[in-house]
Amino acid sequence: MSKYNHKEVEKKWKKNWEKSEIYKTKEPSFAKATAGKAKYYVLDMFPYPSGAGLHVGHPKGYIATDIVARMKMMQGFNVLHPMGWDAFGLPAENYALKNKVHPSDGTAKNVATFKKQLGLLGFTYDWDREVNTTDPKYYKWTQWIFLQMFKKGLAFESFAPINWCPDCKTGLANEDLEGGLCERCGSEIERKPMRQWVLRITDYAEKLLSGLDTLTAWPEHIKKMQSDWIGKSEGALVDFKIKDSDQTLKVFTTRPDTLFGATYMVVAPEHPLISENLDKISNKKAVQEYIEVAKSKSDLERTELQKEKTGVELKGLKAINPLTNEELSIFMADYVLFGYGTGAIMSVPGHDERDWEFAKKYKLPIVDVVLPVNEKGDVLFDANNLSDKPFTEDGVAVNSDFINNLPTPQAKEKMLSYLEEKGIGQRKIQYKLRDWVFSRQRYWGEPIPLVHCEQCQNKKYNYIILHGFSGTADKNGPNRGESNNWRPWIKSKLEDKGNKVFCPNLPNTFEPNIEEQVQYVIDNVGFEINDGTIIVGHSLGAVVIYRLLEKLNKKVGKVVLVDPVVTDNFVDHERPKVTKSCNWKFNFEKIKKLSKEFIVLGDSDFGVIFEKDIKDLVENLTAKLILSKPSAGHFTAEQEPSVWGVLDQNGWVPVPEKDLPLELPKVKNYEPSGTGESPLATISDWVNTSCPQCGGPAKRETNTMPQWAGSCWYYLRYEDPHNTKELVSKEKEKYWSPIDLYVGGAEHATRHLIYARFWHKFLFDIGMVNYDEPFTRLQNVGLILAEDGRKMSKRWNNVINPDDVVEEYGADAMRLYEMFMGPFDQPCAWSTKGVVGVRRFLERAWTLAEKVKSDIVIPVKTGIHGVGSPIKSGMTTVLHQTIKKVSEDILALHFNTAISSMMELVNEMNKVPNVSKEDFVLLLQLLSPFAPHITEELWSQVGNKGSIFESVWPQHNAELAKDTEITLAIQINGKLRDTILVSADISEEEAKQASLNSEKVQKWLEGKTPKKVIYVKNKLVSIVV
């Protein structure tokens, strides 16, 4: 037999596989019912094709998924195992700038290099399904998804200060920072007010958080990182009156139970309270100086570690504790962040470390209102016995009037009810998650498919805004009922822009009569209702609109129905009054024709209006449906951005879907300007266009999307990569999704994995996909470090190139080594010596073939199992144990132990003179997912036809895997004293007796009688004396 020549073997089989198309994904015919085979979708996080090419660290995850894919294939699954390129973004652009090639050319070249390198390793990719985020055919759908978000008010223009990287010359999302520095280049980030497109990911905070509970096959620490990142805290907003003023200072607290311990207030330097009251502040100069200093500091400086807290009192301003009516001083300090909560706090130094530190420094009063208790509920020390640290944990309330003696959770609850009852506060949930700054002032990204039209922006409309029933408004405060929700807020916003707004309080909202209310509108509107009129109706107000349109029989410009009543069936305890308000018969056929556009804005919880009614209405009116989670249920909050999002005439008009993709123009000069303008802004041919809405002159948005955009949904495209009508067919998505196994680096925990879940949940909400979580099981791949223990990098000159390893040791040895080097999810340093070790193993397997004699079987009747039992060779037991171990380990991604057990098997086979063909073939099958080329060759050498990957994965036989003899350990007082070889089916009594009979045991017992003898089946006998 010839020597193992990996180059010949690998070349031969790669060619063979290509010819036979063995790795082409076998998609069931969806039309016919042939989809009987179970599917398995195994995915890698697709690579960024950088100019440096692959190093040996990159393929580690790909090898793992390839092994799982091959085993699943042999186990009879329809396997989807695709690969593609995440190619937009800064690194490619910077590389292009440096090397003076256009990013698109550079990317194409890098993709070719990566593909060639991956090709060497013998993966099962079906390249017909390759995706590339920079391909217009692909990013057409990235843009399409963005437009759907825009239309639902989830993408909005913002002018708020954001993170700006002066080096990369672009704005960044919170997720793009690492400890206040740019994650890409390490520059210090500036806070800069800029025009940005922002995605309202915070609308999905709750869904992203609660969804984690369903992801039982995700690593706990990744889920933890995500939930920390979302950072939910439950608490209360509390209003503190400002003394001698009608202003109130609103604070957020998670400890409403400590309200009696609030001894002063603190606001952030940016807080409007300061600018609005400058005249009243007696130490104005000191205050302004502090603000100047705070402004000049970078974010990093402001939050620097171990920094002593600073602040200035706002002298002349006092707040009133709403419970005690005590006067509280107000401070301004930069340890209070303007961007979180209300930008102001009540300071409880007795029970908060930061407040304590500040109070100590400025000698402010400290009051204890919570005391620690033991498990029985006994108070541990009294309130006068102040410790040298604030007590920040749960305990029991003291010095707190009506909540005294209550344990913290109950104290919180009682205080919350009290605050709400008295109208001085309400429950509030806060998240740390920030909205996603989604635009980049750079060239190499997806163009944002929007145009700005001044004509549309400046066009004036006449608005009618109608509410409905408000039966309980007077009884239960401002947020219940219809008389005082977002209508005044929206009215003034629209009027500010020069629109006419008719926003009446309709008559008899306590016991409404629709006909009466319609007549009221007609009589009082004060302008002509025509196709320049936009009518907004909330709840029962929608019903008024149906009748109004019927009665007027005139076409209007737009109708917006906000959580509209449709039938007399909805959730409200005073429903009977509403039921009587009309006859509930509407001619929707007619109504449908009476507005240019209908928009239904529904509460995605369907808490008041039932889903069926909403869906029916949308169908009857062919309306555009926008489901969202309003600030308060049934859109009853005082300010409601989602309603404003629908009404705002900001002049932004989406590029019509039929015109997608909006292609990135190929330009010569794509350097970032640094002014906050994208390089695209200089291409006037491209920028100047016409408005798709009014036909007038318009300008294109010139910012591009961030690198993360394309990777938010690529896994869906693999399921249906050539679809020109949809991003993925729902049928195919239903079959292939969700992803059964997703493998990638842990560094994506709070970036890609949160963004992708967000987009997926959005696609689920608009009905584009069938499942609400994209990745069923997630596994992290551990980094491969260089031989010196550092990260592989050109800078250290320690990069190992996979091409060289493949050349010298072969792809199979490289694959095997990367899986053998340690636990898959753990970082591990590369060792060339280690590659040598697995290469030796492959050579031993190769030479083992010489011993294979198909005509020689060494049958050993097991005896134990009696007549009719299976014939065993000398290898049978260990073989079946190995089949079990390897199959289980591959699924669990414990590749290192799988390989180790195969090494043991080969060592066993090496010890015997002959190996049966049956046994050898089983070994080859187990090894084949790891080392596909060599096993394919040996498979054919021992006389098999076809590919080993078309063979059926072996199953272990539990009976055959059982040892016939076992070694029992004997312990005396916990110390090992002897081992004995016994039959595996030995009884407990026999085992104990045999142990006591052992000579060594006799010697150690020295005639003493054992107190106790413990038998652990098949393991040991423990004797206690």
> How far apart are alpha carbons 517 and 440 in whole angstroms?
49
Does 913 bind RNA (CB under 7 A)? Our answer is no
Does 334 bind RNA (CB under 7 A)? Our answer is yes
Q: What is the gyration radius of the CA atoms in the chain, in angstroms?
A: 36
Q: Nearest approach, Cβ of 231 to RNA (angstroms)? A: 5
Q: Cα 447 to the chain's mean position, in Å?
A: 24
Piece of the chain touching RNA by CB under 7 A; list 529-537, 633-641, 820-828, 922-930: 820-828
User: Is 332 or 838 the residue whose CB approaches RNA more closely?
Assistant: 838
Does 295 bind RNA (CB under 7 A)? Our answer is no
Sequential DSSP letters for 640-655: -HHHHHHH---SEEEP
Q: Nearest approach, Cβ of 678 to RNA (angstroms)? A: 27
CA nearest to 756, candidates 175, 195, 179: 175
Q: Judging by DSSP bridges, how do beta strands 533-538 and 778-780 pair with one another? A: unpaired
> How far apart are alpha carbons 666 and 845 in whole angstroms?
54
Asked whether the CA dihedral 570, 572, 575, 581 is positive or negative, the reply is negative
Q: Nearest approach, Cβ of 482 to RNA (angstroms)? A: 32
Q: Nearest approach, Cβ of 481 to RNA (angstroms)? A: 30
Q: What are the beta bridge partners of residue 535?
A: 464, 559
Q: Nearest approach, Cβ of 309 to RNA (angstroms)? A: 5
Q: What contacts 91, CB < 8 A, 6 or more positions away?
A: 48, 50, 184
Using CB under 7 A as the binding rule, the residues of this chain from 701 to 760 that contact RNA are: 746-747, 750
Does 1014 bind RNA (CB under 7 A)? Our answer is yes
Q: What contacts 993, CB < 8 A, 6 or more positions away?
A: none
Helix (H, G, I), strand (E, B) or coil at 1013: strand
Structure tokens at 726: 């949809």
Contact 480, 473 (CB under 8 A): yes
Piece of the chain touching RNA by CB under 7 A; list 460-468, 564-572, 696-704, 832-840: 832-840
* Amino acid, res. 519: Q
Using CB under 7 A as the binding rule, the residues of this chain from 423 to 442 that contact RNA are: 430, 432
Does 831 bind RNA (CB under 7 A)? Our answer is yes
Which one of 826, 854, 964, 993 is in contact with RNA (CB under 7 A)? 826
CA nearest to 71, candidates 715, 775, 893: 893
CB 709: neighbour CB atoms within 10 A?
Answer: 26
Q: Nearest approach, Cβ of 1022 to RNA (angstroms)? A: 3
Q: What are the beta bridge partners of residue 196?
A: 158
Which one of 1, 31, 305, 867 is in contact with RNA (CB under 7 A)? 305
Piece of the chain touching RNA by CB under 7 A; list 49-57, 189-197, 336-344, 605-613: 336-344
Tokens 């590339």, residue located: 132
Q: Nearest approach, Cβ of 165 to RNA (angstroms)? A: 16
* Cα end-to-end distance, the chain, whole Å: 61
Does 967 bind RNA (CB under 7 A)? Our answer is yes
Q: What contacts 862, CB < 8 A, 6 or more positions away?
A: 869, 870, 872, 964
Piece of the chain touching RNA by CB under 7 A; list 281-289, 417-425, 866-874, 890-898: 890-898
Q: Nearest approach, Cβ of 881 to RNA (angstroms)? A: 12
Q: Nearest approach, Cβ of 184 to RNA (angstroms)? A: 14
User: Is 119 or 827 the residue whose CB approaches RNA more closely?
Assistant: 827
Does 837 bind RNA (CB under 7 A)? Our answer is yes
Contact 961, 881 (CB under 8 A): yes
Which one of 12, 554, 844, 853 is in contact with RNA (CB under 7 A)? 844
- Full 3-state SS string of 672-730: CCCCCCCHHHHCHHHHEEECCCCCCEEEECCCECCCHHHHCCHHHHCCCCCCCCCCCCH
User: Is 259 or 536 the residue whose CB approaches RNA more closely?
Assistant: 259
Does 309 bind RNA (CB under 7 A)? Our answer is yes
Q: Nearest approach, Cβ of 88 to RNA (angstroms)? A: 23
Phi, psi of 688 (to 5 degrees): -80, 125
Which one of 134, 971, 995, 998 is in contact with RNA (CB under 7 A)? 971
Does 899 bind RNA (CB under 7 A)? Our answer is yes
Does 969 bind RNA (CB under 7 A)? Our answer is yes
Q: Nearest approach, Cβ of 299 to RNA (angstroms)? A: 8
Using CB under 7 A as the binding rule, the residues of this chain from 579 to 598 that contact RNA are: none
Q: Nearest approach, Cβ of 476 to RNA (angstroms)? A: 26
163: left (phi over 0), alpha (psi -120 to 50) or beta: beta
Which one of 840, 870, 950, 959 is in contact with RNA (CB under 7 A)? 840
Q: Nearest approach, Cβ of 628 to RNA (angstroms)? A: 23
Does 823 bind RNA (CB under 7 A)? Our answer is yes
Q: Nearest approach, Cβ of 261 to RNA (angstroms)? A: 11
User: Is 130 or 203 the residue whose CB approaches RNA more closely?
Assistant: 203
Contact 698, 458 (CB under 8 A): no
Quickly list H helices, 912-998. 917-927, 932-941, 988-997
User: Is 703 or 1022 the residue whose CB approaches RNA more closely?
Assistant: 1022
Structure tokens at 135: 């391909």
Using CB under 7 A as the binding rule, the residues of this chain from 226 to 255 that contact RNA are: 228-229, 231, 233, 235, 252-255
Q: Nearest approach, Cβ of 754 to RNA (angstroms)? A: 11
Q: Nearest approach, Cβ of 45 to RNA (angstroms)? A: 16
User: Is 347 or 485 the residue whose CB approaches RNA more closely?
Assistant: 347
Using CB under 7 A as the binding rule, the residues of this chain from 127 to 186 that contact RNA are: 174, 177-179
Does 293 bind RNA (CB under 7 A)? Our answer is no
User: Is 231 or 488 the residue whose CB approaches RNA more closely?
Assistant: 231
Does 858 bind RNA (CB under 7 A)? Our answer is no
Q: Nearest approach, Cβ of 783 to RNA (angstroms)? A: 9
> How far apart are alpha carbons 487 and 468 in whole angstroms?
12
> How far apart are alpha carbons 129 and 659 in whole angstroms?
25
Does 550 bind RNA (CB under 7 A)? Our answer is no
Piece of the chain touching RNA by CB under 7 A; list 5-13, 436-444, 689-697, 899-907: 899-907
Which one of 973, 993, 997, 1002 is in contact with RNA (CB under 7 A)? 973
CB 92: neighbour CB atoms within 10 A?
Answer: 24
Q: Nearest approach, Cβ of 973 to RNA (angstroms)? A: 5
Mark 346-385 with x for binding to RNA (rule: CB under 7 A) and - for no binding.
--x---x-x-------------------------------
> How far apart are alpha carbons 424 and 416 in whole angstroms?
10
Q: Cα 644 to the chain's mean position, in Å?
A: 27
> How far apart are alpha carbons 773 and 84 in whole angstroms?
21
Q: What are the beta bridge partners of residue 242?
A: 319
User: Is 194 or 348 the residue whose CB approaches RNA more closely?
Assistant: 348
Using CB under 7 A as the binding rule, the residues of this chain from 974 to 1003 that contact RNA are: 974-976, 979, 1000
Helix or strand (DSSP H, E) at 64: helix 59-74
Piece of the chain touching RNA by CB under 7 A; list 630-638, 656-664, 800-808, 1012-1020: 1012-1020
> How far apart are alpha carbons 577 and 582 in whole angstroms?
10
Looking at 321-442, which runs of residues are DSSP E strands?
Answer: 327-333, 344-347, 370-371, 396-397, 425-430, 436-437
Residues in the interface with RNA (CB under 7 A) total 84
Structure tokens at 677: 């303008």
Does 910 bind RNA (CB under 7 A)? Our answer is yes
Q: What are the beta bridge partners of residue 743?
A: 44, 779
User: Is 432 or 851 the residue whose CB approaches RNA more closely?
Assistant: 432
CA nearest to 781, candidates 811, 814, 812, 741: 741
Contact 447, 143 (CB under 8 A): yes
Piece of the chain touching RNA by CB under 7 A; list 286-294, 331-339, 412-420, 939-947: 331-339
User: Is 83 or 898 the residue whose CB approaches RNA more closely?
Assistant: 898
